[in-house]
Amino acid sequence: MNEALIASNMLLWLAVLALLVAVFALARQIGILYERIAPMGALMMDSGPKVGEAAPAFELAGMDGAPVAIGAPAAASTLLFFLSPTCPVCKKLLPIIKSVRKAEGERLRVVLASDGEAADHRAFRQRAELGDFPYVLSAELGMRYQVSKLPYAVLIDPQGRIRAKGLINSREQFESLFAAQELGVASVQDYLAAPQLSKEAA
């Protein structure tokens, strides 16, 4: 009887130890998985003006006829958002842009940019209720920033310097532009890669 009790206790302790080992291994795997799926920031292309450089200065006419200055020193940061009326992801991001502009208030000016037929953009602007956003049509602007895919955004600080830019497809990528500016890095990927680089160097 006593031998059976001792044997059962030993089996229970072995089971507990096995569970502890399994939990430890699982926690380690979760940590590795978290590193692999770290937040993905805006995809920064290696073309066009670099982060940290002065933004190209443009003086363009908005769709409402008012002049729109881009790249010059200003009282607030400027988010230059390249979009198209036929881009479904651009349309998905518009509510996010509206909410961010509302939250940032006078600290952020959002300028919408595209090219093509003005009539198409006027109809799109009305449908999407974008009448209170500066909206410019300029092929030269897109070429200067070498925008090849949409939606694309550039964050310019009040001094007229590019602080973040990239291809964005989600709220997370959109917000990564502001995170990169706050962290003082070119992109969130650079920030995430820095500790790994230092570990590899060690």
Classify residue 160 as left (phi > 0), alpha (psi -120 to 50) or beta.
left
Q: Is the pLDDT higher at 46 or at 177?
A: 177
**106 compared with 14, residue with greater pLDDT:** 106
Burial of 69 (0-12, 13-18, 19+ CB in 10 A): middle
User: pLDDT grade, residue 103 (50/70/90)?
Assistant: confident
Answer yes or no: is pLDDT of 185 > 50.
yes
pTM for the structure as a whole = 0.73
* Percentage of the residues of the chain whose pLDDT score is greater than 70: 80
pLDDT at 37 > cutoff 60: no
**What is the residue extent of each domain of the chain?**
2-37, 58-194
Assess if CATH 3.10.105.10 describes domain 58-194. no
Residue 64 DSSP symbol: T
pLDDT of 121 strictly over 70: yes
**What band does 117 get if pLDDT is binned at 50, 70 and 90?**
very high
Mean pLDDT of 79-102: 94
Mean pLDDT of 56-75: 94
CB 70 within 8 A of CB 142: no
